[in-house]
Amino acid sequence: MSYQFNAEKTANELVSWVKAYFENTASPETKAVIGISGGKDSSVAAAVCVKALGKDRVIGVLMPQGEQSDIAFSRLLVDTLGIKSYTINIGDTVSTFMGELKKHIDPTNQAVVNTPARIRMTTLYAVAACVGGRVVNTCNLSEDWVGYSTKYGDAAGDFSPLSDLTVTEVLQVGDYLGLPEELVHKVPIDGLCGKTDEENLGFTYAELDRYIRGLTDLSDKPELKEKIDRMHRNNLHKLQLMPKFEQNK
């Protein structure tokens, strides 16, 4: 029997899950603090939180790095949901930190790419500390599967509503929730080299999602299967608890 996804059922379960998480672990005043990129994941996660908690308990944080050409999408989401938001520009912070780092060591491409994501997460936790909030993780299953996230950056958070949903499923939930099409179906771009996520990955999310859900075994594309499997193995550390030494007792 093939895998079947029901967007309406899943959306309702997501709302119930977020509501239960806050009822069981937080005070009635605790807010959800979410980084707003204007893409599908932050849009859907924010919409789910608004339905679960009410718009007064959801805080959006826009974090451009200097000038952000597509920040209008982030503002559209905030306006659509009617949530309070803060715009905190991380450009100077990133520049100052990288400038100091360069005095001691030449930054690798990995450091250049991952540092802004970790500064954004630091910003979210600072806001959460000020407003009494929990940070929303906005990663989805597809990105997590191949490690397309930054450890202790966008891969961090206090609760994760979308991490069991593939990109294809997130899009369906976003459409069901009635979010603007330009937000749900905005093509994700890395913001550094101008390439889309799929161009960087070397395969489409549709191919990846079908493989994850067992709808294809990629036997006709052995090189792609091997690449996805390798990326999954090499990035499992991002999803697992930090290994710790345990004494023999």
Backbone φ and ψ of 124, nearest 5°: -60, -40
CA dihedral sign, ordered 66, 70, 75, 81 = negative
Is residue 201 assigned to a domain? no
pLDDT digits (tens, 9 = 90+) for 56-78: 999 999 999 999 888 999 999 99
Is residue 125 assigned to a domain? yes
- The closest alpha carbon to 48, from 130, 162, 142, belongs to 162
Query: Is residue 110 a contact partner of residue 147, using CB atoms and an 8 Å limit?
Result: no
Q: How far apart are CA 153 and CA 97, in angstroms?
A: 16
- The closest alpha carbon to 54, from 6, 22, 86, belongs to 22
Tokens 């191949």: give the residue: 146
pLDDT at 193 over 70: no
Is residue 113 assigned to a domain? yes
CATH code: domain of residue 45: 3.40.50.620
pTM recorded for the entire structure? 0.94
pLDDT digits (tens, 9 = 90+) for 32-48: 999 999 999 999 999 99
- How many angstroms separate the Cα of 26 from the Cα of each of 41, 133, 189? 24, 9, 35
Note the pLDDT of residue 192: 59
pLDDT digits (tens, 9 = 90+) for 148-177: 999 999 999 999 999 999 999 999 999 999
Domain count of the chain? 1
Of the pLDDT bands very low, low, confident and very high (cuts 50, 70, 90), residue 1 is very low
Is residue 33 assigned to a domain? yes
- b vs e for 207-224, b when ≥16 Cβ sit within 10 Å of the residue's Cβ? bbbbbbbeeeebeeeeee
Is residue 104 assigned to a domain? yes
Report the length, in residues, of the chain: 249
Note the pLDDT of residue 187: 87
Is residue 206 assigned to a domain? no
User: Please, what is the angle between helix 109-131 and helix 91-102, to 10°?
Assistant: 130
Q: Which domain holds residue 117?
A: 7-186
Is residue 222 assigned to a domain? no
Tokens 């075994």: give the residue: 217
* Number of other residues whose CB lies within 10 A of the CB of residue 227: 16
Is residue 135 assigned to a domain? yes
How far out from the chain centre does Cα 185 lie? 15
